[in-house]
Structure 1
């Protein structure tokens, strides 16, 4: 159903609509802001994962290995 959902002409159409809506001067600023937001989100996600790993108690290896035998 969604086999060829996003073809190159779709991207061109989306870009054209963005240029018409926001103008060519604001697009670089918007892209920069989006990039900064993605970097912040990525670093926060990594920090949350590291915190979750540090807080979780370690499982004993004997029980994990016992199921394989």
Structure 2
């Protein structure tokens, strides 16, 4: 089985297929130019600066929120790790639940509602 990446049953990964997948992930200069041309055609040259500006603002907001969350986590984390609670030495007394006077333990049938609409 020359050229096979894996000898496990059920896997058919060859060297050629791995190279093809790696090549698909790369973007060369011609692909980038083609993508830019398509974006300009779709959105128009006048809208692109506004879109870039709003994208930059969104990225800044996301970055500042991530920093704030990190700072909050660091402040809320205690300096010393929490100590495990000592096992309780109490012995639990057996509890008995008794019904209070007036509790109803039996159920009564519920009357079916009657239909008074005319058809």
Q: Structure 2-normalised TM-score?
A: 0.46
Q: Which runs of structure 1 show a deviation greater than 6 angstroms over 4 or more consecutive aligned residues?
A: none
Structure with greater helix percent: 1
Higher RCO (CA < 8 A, seq sep 6+): 1
Q: CA deviation at 1:57?
A: 1.6
In 2, the alpha carbon distance for the partners of 1:50 and 1:7 equals 39
Q: CA deviation at 1:58?
A: 2.2
The structure with more radius of gyration = 2
Q: When the two structures are aligned, how many residues end up with a matched partner?
A: 60
CA RMSD of aligned residues (A): 1.5
Alignment of 1:3-22 (within 5 A): 5-22=26-43
Q: CA deviation at 1:9?
A: 1.3
Q: CA deviation at 1:33?
A: 0.3
Alignment of 1:1-69 (within 5 A): 1-2=21-22, 5-59=26-80
In 1, the alpha carbon distance for the partners of 2:80 and 2:22 equals 42
List runs of 5+ in structure 2 lacking aligned partners: 1-20, 82-119
